[in-house]
Copies of this chain bind each other. A is one copy, B any other.
C-alpha cells in the first residue's frame, strides 16, 4: 500500500498553464490504469485532441468547460466527465481560480 498527499508528487509542466502530477502510476505498482491530477490556470486550456483511450475525470475545484465536437458543458467541483476513446475533447479554465481535476487513463503498451 502506498499513501501520499497529491502535492508530494513532482509536478510536470504538461503545457503552458497546465501542470500534471502522476499520483499513481506504474512506478507505484499500478497494473491497469494511472491516476493523474491536473491544475489548469485561469485562461489555460488543453488542446482539442483525441486518442484511442478513454478519460475518467472528477473535478476537485475551480470552474471551466469541457468541449467536444458536439458543444461545450460547464464543469465545476464534483463534476464527473467520461470521455470515450477517440472522442475529441478539450478542457478550458474560464474561471478565476485554478481548475483542478483528477483524470484516470488506462495503461497502454
Using CB atoms and an 8 Å cutoff, list the residues of chain A in contact with chain B.
1-7, 9, 23-24, 28-33, 35, 37, 54, 56, 58, 60, 66, 68, 70, 73, 75, 78-85, 87, 89, 102, 104, 106
Contacts and interface: CB of A to CB of B under 8 A. Distances in A.
A26 to B, nearest CB: 11
A75 B32 CA distance: 24
Contact of A80 (B4, B31, B56, B58): B4
B73 A58 contact: no
A1 B79 contact: no
B102 A24 contact: no
Contacts of A106: 31-33
Nearest to A80: B23
A33 B32 contact: yes
Contacts of A30: 54, 56, 82
Contact of A82 (B1, B68, B78, B84): B1
